[in-house]
Amino acid sequence: MRMVDDGPMLVAIPTTSSPAWGEDSAIAIVRRSLRRRGFGLDVAGGPMAVVLDRHHPDAAAAIEGGEAIELASAWPSDASIVLTAAGRWWVWEYGAVAPADSQARTLASQASGTRS
């Protein structure tokens, strides 16, 4: 919630996400999840890109490729997408991570760890 000074009284306006939520938070959650799943530092510590929501100008680029239609229709309204060397992953502000594309699903099923 953020407070707005609207004349003689303050009005609470709900916000869609925590002020602390951003690209760094999303990447940290995905890195931790990939490490717990057994991915090495080359993947868990490698380069990542984040699109925080489906309405972001970079959203189309984040889902381009053979699975673009599936990813666009499956994009959860409250999730961000993180692009990694191990595929694309949905990540939620509360810490959940799930594979978003076939590469991530395949690698997740082969990974030695099982915790998310």
Q: Which pLDDT tens digit goes with each residue over 22-60?
A: 999 999 999 999 999 999 999 999 999 999 988 888 888
Q: What is the largest CA-CA distance in the chain?
A: 60
The length of the chain is 116
The ranges assigned to domains in the chain are 19-110
CB 80 within 8 A of CB 52: yes
* Phi, psi of 22, rounded to the nearest 5 degrees: -170, -170
pTM of the model: 0.76
